[in-house]
Amino acid sequence: MKFHTEYLWFNTKKHREYINITGEVEGILRKSGIKEGMILVSAMHITAAVYVNDAEQGLLEDIDVWLETLAPFNLRYHHHHTGETNGDAHLKSLLMHHEVMIPVTDGKLDFGPWQQVYYAEFDGQRKKRVIVKVMGE
C-alpha cells in the first residue's frame, strides 16, 4: 500500500465560510498516482469541518442558517469563561464533523451524483489547515 499526504491552507476573509475544495482534493489524488483506495480529508482545527454534499448556493445558505439556529453565536457559553468567544464555532464543528473518507476507484473520487467536498470555517480570519491523505495502490 502507498500513501501520499499534502496539506491545504486557508485564511478566510469572513468568520464563517464554506469552500468547495473538490478540485484541490482531485489534484492531490492525481499527484499521488493511486488508482484504488481511500482518501481522508480532515480539518486540523476544532472550529472547522470537512463534509460532502451538494454544491448548490441555496443549500449552503440553508446549512449556515441551520447551524446558526442549533449553535448560535452568543457570549453565554461556558467556554467563554476561558477568555475565548468561539464556543459556537466548536459546536458547529461537532455538528458537521471534522473529516470525511472518500473511496477512490480507477484514479477518481468515487462520488455519487452532485457530491462535492467542502471545507467549513466557523472561526475564520486566521491561518488553518486541512490534511489530505491518500492511501491505496
* Residue 84 CB contacts under 8 Å (≥ 6 apart), including other chains: none
Q: DSSP per residue over 4-24, as a string? A: EEEEEEE--SSSSEEEE-HHH
pLDDT at residue 75 above 90?
no
Backbone Cα Rg of the chain:
16
Tens digit of each residue's pLDDT (9 = 90 or more) over 25-68: 999 999 999 999 999 999 999 999 999 999 999 999 999 999 99
pLDDT at residue 95 above 90?
yes
Q: Where are the domains of the chain?
A: 2-136
Is the CB of residue 103 less than 8 Å from the CB of residue 25?
Answer: no
Percentage of the chain with pLDDT > 70?
100
Class of domain 2-136: mainly beta
pLDDT at residue 74 above 90?
no
The predicted model gives 88-117 an average pLDDT of 97
**Cα separation, 63 vs 52, whole angstroms:** 12
